[in-house]
């Protein structure tokens, strides 16, 4: 149980284009999902918190107009990187909070974005 | 501001050589401390949640403990398949469900 999927697992795009990444909770409903980015050999940095049916809350320093987050249902959140640049190349990971005893976040497998 | 510091940054062990990883934290109002395992190119895999000082949890060769200032992840008689990066994260009561991660400890277990 508590499986989170991401699609695509890797993507290469040209500078200036936009890329959408999907995050799905497969066997549970998640009112809250989180988006992280991770650079090589570094830890996870929270980008934003996404709540179903409401606007995402972005961490300080994260451009909300560049990283568009939509949480349209209890099982799906999307991250769109708009007008991507090479410095946006990173490993993007989502997590979903499962209900029930004790707060637990389950992570997706990540999406490797390379902007050329 | 919540702070999480993990040590050591990297650990090389021989198979069967037990060791401990440290996670020191500073947080106002701890809701929970989490341990995750991350393999290269993959998302973190949930291991444990600890809620209060004195709590301990075990899973196979791993045992996590918690005090008011730090947590330890003990690896007993590790095997090569235990090689991974181990991440510690804290969740603060007044910060919703956000996690603040430490830098991780990269563990390599050699046969």
Q: How far is B103 from chain A (nearest CA, A)?
A: 5
Does the distance separating the beta carbons of A32 and B97 come in below 8 Å? yes
Q: Provide the pLDDT for residue A53.
A: 81
Does the distance separating the beta carbons of A112 and B43 come in below 8 Å? no
- Peptide bond connecting B8 to the previous residue in cis, omega within 30 degrees of 0: yes
Tens of pLDDT along A41-73? 888 999 999 988 888 999 999 999 999 999 888
The tokens for A87 are 């410095």
Which residue of B43, B103, B104 is in closest CB contact with A110? B43
Q: Provide the pLDDT for residue A55.
A: 87
Q: How far is B111 from chain A (nearest CA, A)?
A: 24
Mean pLDDT of A33-41: 92
**The dihedral of CA A15, A16, A22, A23: what is its sign?**
positive
Q: Provide the pLDDT for residue A102.
A: 62
Asked if B68 reaches chain A (Cβ–Cβ under 8 Å), the answer is no
In sequence order, the β-bridge partners of residue A96 are: A33, A106
Tens of pLDDT along B34-68? 999 999 999 999 999 999 999 999 999 999 999 99
Instruction: Show Cβ contacts of residue B34 under 8 Å, excluding neighbours closer than 6 positions.
Output: A104, A105, B46, B47, B48, B49, B50, B88, B89, B90, B91, B99
Q: Provide the pLDDT for residue A72.
A: 82
> What is the C-alpha to C-alpha distance for residues A46 and A92, in angstroms, rounded to an integer?
10
- Peptide bond connecting A21 to the previous residue in cis, omega within 30 degrees of 0: no
Q: Provide the pLDDT for residue A42.
A: 87
Which residue of A43, A103, A106 is in closest CB contact with B97? A103
Which residue spans within A8-110 are E strands per DSSP?
A: 10-13, 19-25, 32-38, 45-51, 57-58, 67-73, 76-81, 90-98, 104-107
Instruction: Sort B61 into a burial class: Cβ within 10 Å, 0-12 / 13-18 / 19+.
Output: middle
Q: Provide the pLDDT for residue B17.
A: 97
Tens of pLDDT along A59-114? 999 999 999 999 888 899 999 999 999 999 999 999 998 776 666 789 999 999 99
> What is the C-alpha to C-alpha distance for residues B48 and B26, in angstroms, rounded to an integer?
19
> In chain A, what percentage of residues exceed pLDDT 70?
96
Q: Provide the pLDDT for residue A103.
A: 62
- For residue A36, the number of C-alpha atoms closer than 13 Å in the C-beta half-sphere is 24
Mean pLDDT of A13-27: 95
């Amino acid at each position: 149980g508590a499986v989170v999927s991401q699609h695509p697992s890797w993507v290469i795009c040209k500078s200036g284009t936009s890329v959408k990444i999907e995050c799905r909770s497969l066997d549970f409903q998640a009112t809250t999902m989180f988006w992280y980015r991770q650079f090589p050999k570094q830890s996870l940095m929270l980008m934003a918190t996404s709540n179903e049916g409401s606007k995402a809350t972005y961490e300080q320093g994260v451009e909300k107009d560049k990283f568009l987050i939509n949480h349209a249902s209890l099982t799906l959140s999307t991250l769109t990187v708009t007008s991507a640049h090479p410095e946006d190349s990173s490993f993007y990971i989502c997590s979903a909070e499962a209900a029930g005893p004790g707060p637990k976040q389950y992570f997706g497998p990540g999406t490797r974005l390379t902007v050329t | 501001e919540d702070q999480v510091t993990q040590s050591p940054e990297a650990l090389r062990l021989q198979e069967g050589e037990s060791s401990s990883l440290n996670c020191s934290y500073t947080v106002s109002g701890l809701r929970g401390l989490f341990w995750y395992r991350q393999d290269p190119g993959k998302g973190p895999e949930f291991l444990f949640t600890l809620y209060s000082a004195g709590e301990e949890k075990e899973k196979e060769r791993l045992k996590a403990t918690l005090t008011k200032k730090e947590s330890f992840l003990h690896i007993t008689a590790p095997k090569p398949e235990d090689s991974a990066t181990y991440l510690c994260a804290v969740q603060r009561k007044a910060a919703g469900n956000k996690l603040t991660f430490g830098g991780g400890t990269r563990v390599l277990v050699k046969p």
